[in-house]
Structure 1
Amino acid sequence: MGTMVRAAGLRGLPGLIDALGGDGRALFERFGADASAPGTDDAVIESMTAGLILQAAATELDCPDLGLRLAGQQNISVLGPLSLAIESSDTLGEALDCATRFLFVHSPALTVEQVDDPSGRPGVVALRYGSTELEPMPPQSADLGLGLLHRSVALLAGGRYGLRSVHLPHRPLAPVARYTEFFGADVRFGQASALLRVPQALAGTPTAGGNRMLHTAALDYLSSHYPAPSVSLAARVERLITQGLGSAPVDIAAIARHLQTHPRTLQRRLSAEGAGFEQILDSVRRGAAHRLITGTSIPFTQITAMVGLTEQSALTRAVRRWFGQSPRDLRRGA
């Protein structure tokens, strides 16, 4: 099992799919997910599955700005119990510190942090949105996540907040004008990270809903109910498989040697976490295959080797099992 994210991160997506002429429930079910889950605060979904659902919907409905559309319908409430602590912060800097510290409550796979301005402009810093496991982050997921971060900052600031420019790691999925309209600033593509370049002084800006008593109570609740997680063994195994896929052995014996343990011990510890080696390997291969088939023109024979399979027929069988269609049809649809 991969890292989980609150299904509320896709809140509004099933209805948006229906409004665009698709079938939201059927699309969620195709990926083994419940279309009603985004409407709840407690349901979770694999972060990789969430990305695949979003990408499939955008492709099949010919809606390249789907991530931006969904971000435009959402607000901080999709973060569940974390949203109250953020919204009651006294300043934007305090709200960012809260998000940086407790975003794992929404998903251990996601991060948001303040970093130096990549352009080196004095008086400017960057708010970087990223993933601990999906590198590169699926483009639609990056659009959705950074779009929601932008809307959240604007909400907390009570309107425009001096956004200098936006960086996205992928090529534009929709016309560039659609991005500049959404963010209200210059958008640069093919960058190293997904981030918002903002004034350094923004951290001291009072928020629209600051409430010291409520903020303290919300932080106490988060601290007592959501202790910071340590990196699970399953996450470490998934990272090692991802790093070695297609270039190094990814069987359980090789991974166990890297972790300095016996394969049986590794399998037993994974089982205690509710995971299994073959399940993790299959999940990593599924994500890699989808990205390579739909996002590149690399020949299928080469993709077969890149996902650690020995024969193209094995790739074909696996893709049919994962996505219900052949590699050729999956690429043609993308």
Structure 2
Amino acid sequence: MEPLIRSASLRGFAPLITALGGDPGSFLDRFGIPRGALDRDDGLVSITAHDLMLDAAAAELECPDLGLRLAEHQDLDILGPIAVAVAASSNGAEALRHAAEFMFVHSPVLAVEISPDPWHQRGVVALTYRKDVLQSPYSPQAIELGLGVFFHVGESLLAGAPGFHSVEIPHSPMAPVSRYTEFFGTDVKFNRPTAALRVDRRVLETSFATADDSVRSAAVDYLSARYSNPNHSAAHRTRLAIAEHLHAGAPALSTVASLLAQHPRTLQRQLAGEDTSYAVILDEVRRDTAYRYLTTTDLPLGQVASLVGFREQSALSHAVRRWYGISPRELRGGVTGAGTSIGPG
């Protein structure tokens, strides 16, 4: 089934595109998104069409910061029933637990979580925002939209708390770097493994002014009763664990099994029951991560090789030829291999 996203993610799209001199209706029609999707927040649209439309609009209207501009039109309310549970939580840590648990209601290919600081700074954690590129291609504008909304929500709920240490973006700058630092008000680092906001751990214990235990409990009960998470499969959890640690070298099956609190043989049996294997998933994650770095950044090939878990650049070259039938440089330049469909998945 094609992955979807709530149409609330397009809130503000029409006035923004119109202000830029474009026709929002023509973009919607081209990407097969019903025009009525802009009239309600609780509709569902293809997240791939949604993301490709944002990238196309940014390029054609010469608006490289389109994702950030769209984020300025949105707030926590775009998450619908999830927003109620988040706002009524006692603090940031609890709010993020609920957001992580129920983000699939907004879109099953998006995820947020609290992760260790990628820079290993004491007392700092990363609030990560991810898209599963095995299910839908990576989109720079959509990632910037999601990260921008994530940032605004954090600022709103943690009003008065210490600021962010830095913002991590997985691709090269789409707009002047000054635009990013102006938007986020802090240092912004590019070509990073994962989109993230780095904050002091203690900030997550700051009490919310909107905390209400009875409202939070009712919202969580409603979400639990009405929605079933499609992302509880062993393959999905394995993909996320591999993607999380790939930049430090391809993790072994035993390492991922430990992260998932399972015995390696148990994980192998679960993956086999889902008609896949650890080796297949590792190869898929490497393929789609390499595709993202090669097509959205200008990182040296040796660095790309390292970020996808290869020790040598030659290993990356062999793998890209196996996946796409062309060299990494040709893939970066947009060359299509004979009989090969270029793109993740």
Same fold by TM (over 0.5)? yes
Deviations 1:134-160 (A, max 9, x none): 587311111111111000011111256
1:8–1:39 contact (8 Å) kept in structure 2: no
Matched residue, 2:153: 152
Secondary structure (helix, strand or coil) at the match of 1:36 reads: helix
Residues 31/42 of structure 1: CA separation in 2 closer, same or farther (3 Å cut): same
1:103–1:110 contact (8 Å) kept in structure 2: yes
d(CA) in 2 for partners of 1:299, 1:212:
52
2:103–2:112 contact (8 Å) kept in structure 1: yes
1:154–1:161 contact (8 Å) kept in structure 2: no
Matched residue, 1:189: 190
Paired AA for residue 35 in structure 1:
R
Matched residue, 1:76: 76
d(CA) in 2 for partners of 1:189, 1:290:
13
d(CA) in 2 for partners of 1:301, 1:175:
22
Paired AA for residue 46 in structure 2:
E
Matched residue, 1:26: 26
Instruction: Report the CA distance between 1:127 and its aligned residue.
Output: 0.4
Matched residue, 1:205: 206
2:5–2:107 contact (8 Å) kept in structure 1: yes
Secondary structure (helix, strand or coil) at the match of 2:35 reads: coil
1:131–1:137 contact (8 Å) kept in structure 2: yes
Matched residue, 1:88: 88
Paired AA for residue 310 in structure 1:
G
d(CA) in 2 for partners of 1:94, 1:162:
19
d(CA) in 1 for partners of 2:78, 2:46:
16
Q: 1:124-273 maps to which residues of 2 (within 5 A)?
A: 124-133=124-133, 137-159=138-160, 161-230=162-231
1:153–1:161 contact (8 Å) kept in structure 2: no
2:110–2:129 contact (8 Å) kept in structure 1: yes
Matched residue, 1:61: 61
Runs of 5+ in structure 2 lacking a partner? 241-270, 276-289, 299-328
d(CA) in 1 for partners of 2:291, 2:116:
34
The runs of 4+ residues in structure 1 deviating greater than 3 Å are 258-262, 288-303
Secondary structure (helix, strand or coil) at the match of 2:51 reads: helix
Instruction: Report the CA distance between 1:209 and its aligned residue.
Output: 1.0
How many residue pairs match? The answer is 266
Paired AA for residue 151 in structure 2:
H
Matched residue, 2:41: 41
Deviations 1:108-153 (A, max 9, x none): 1000001000111001000010012358731111111111100001
d(CA) in 1 for partners of 2:129, 2:274:
34
Instruction: Report the CA distance between 1:73 and its aligned residue.
Output: 1.2
2:72–2:149 contact (8 Å) kept in structure 1: yes
1:165–1:187 contact (8 Å) kept in structure 2: yes
Please say which of residues 179-188 and 11-20 is displaced more in the overlay: 11-20
1:168–1:191 contact (8 Å) kept in structure 2: yes
Identity of aligned residues (%): 42
TM-score, L = length of structure 2: 0.69
- Supply the RMSD in Å over aligned alpha carbons: 3.3
d(CA) in 2 for partners of 1:226, 1:132:
20
1:114–1:127 contact (8 Å) kept in structure 2: yes
d(CA) in 2 for partners of 1:159, 1:28:
39
Matched residue, 1:281: none
TM-score, L = length of structure 1: 0.71
